[in-house]
Amino acid sequence: MSDKISVLLSEDEVAKKLDDLASVINRDYEGKCIHLVGILKGSVFFSCELAKRLTIPVTMDFMSVSSYGNSTKSSGVVKIIKDLDEPLQDRDVLIVEDIVDTGRTLSYLMKVLKDRRPASMRLCCMLDKPERRITDVKADYVCFNIPDEFVVGFGLDYAQKYRNLPYIGVLQPEETE
């Protein structure tokens, strides 16, 4: 049976928001080189689309942490699966994440990355589900606040599928008889 997905944020809406976000970041980091740290795999599309719109000097690195596996619920267990290739020391780091839900993943990750002594560290998220937060994680840049629904597309998956959707959609729960 195929999954039902309804559009929450269209390709155009996401592109417009990315333009706006990039202008703000270009202004905030004027005169600096920004080091984008994308969290795999969900932030790949967002990181690249954002980077393409930045006019300040940009370097990029990626790391991978464990997430929900094949489920739609957080396990609460965070594990670094692939670490960064380069040190963060003295760099102006912008962590680029697909979505903040409970905040558990980023709460852990930001502590680990702060210990590497970047010159500055900020957090940029494509989506935020503020009502789900159980930690004090707060993003410096957010594209969209969304309700408590499980979303896919623009990098976000369900069981590794749907990352390639050019829009963000809500995955409808399967109907039970």
As given in the structure block, the two tokens for residue 17 are: 């928001």
DSSP secondary structure letters along 24-46: HHHHHTTTS-EEEEEEETTTHHH
Active-site residue, 61 included: no
CA–CA separation, 124 vs 88, rounded Å? 17
Of 142, 110, 120, the residue nearest 34 (C-alpha): 120
In Å, how far from its chain's centre is CA 44?
8
Q: How far is the CB of 153 from ligand 5GP (least distance, A)?
A: 9
Binding span for ligand 5GP by CB under 6 A among 6-14, 80-88, 99-107, 116-124: 99-107
Residue 101 within binding range of ligand 5GP, rule CB under 6 A = yes
CA–CA separation, 31 vs 163, rounded Å? 34
Binding span for ligand 5GP by CB under 6 A among 6-14, 50-58, 87-95, 150-158: 150-158
As given in the structure block, the two tokens for residue 62 are: 């990626």
Nearer to ligand 5GP, 29 or 162 (CB): 162
Residue 128 within binding range of ligand 5GP, rule CB under 6 A = no
Q: Which of 104, 113, 123, 142 binds ligand 5GP (CB under 6 A)?
A: 104
Which stretches of the chain bind ligand 5GP, using CB under 6 A?
A: 42, 67-68, 74, 97-105, 150-152, 156-158
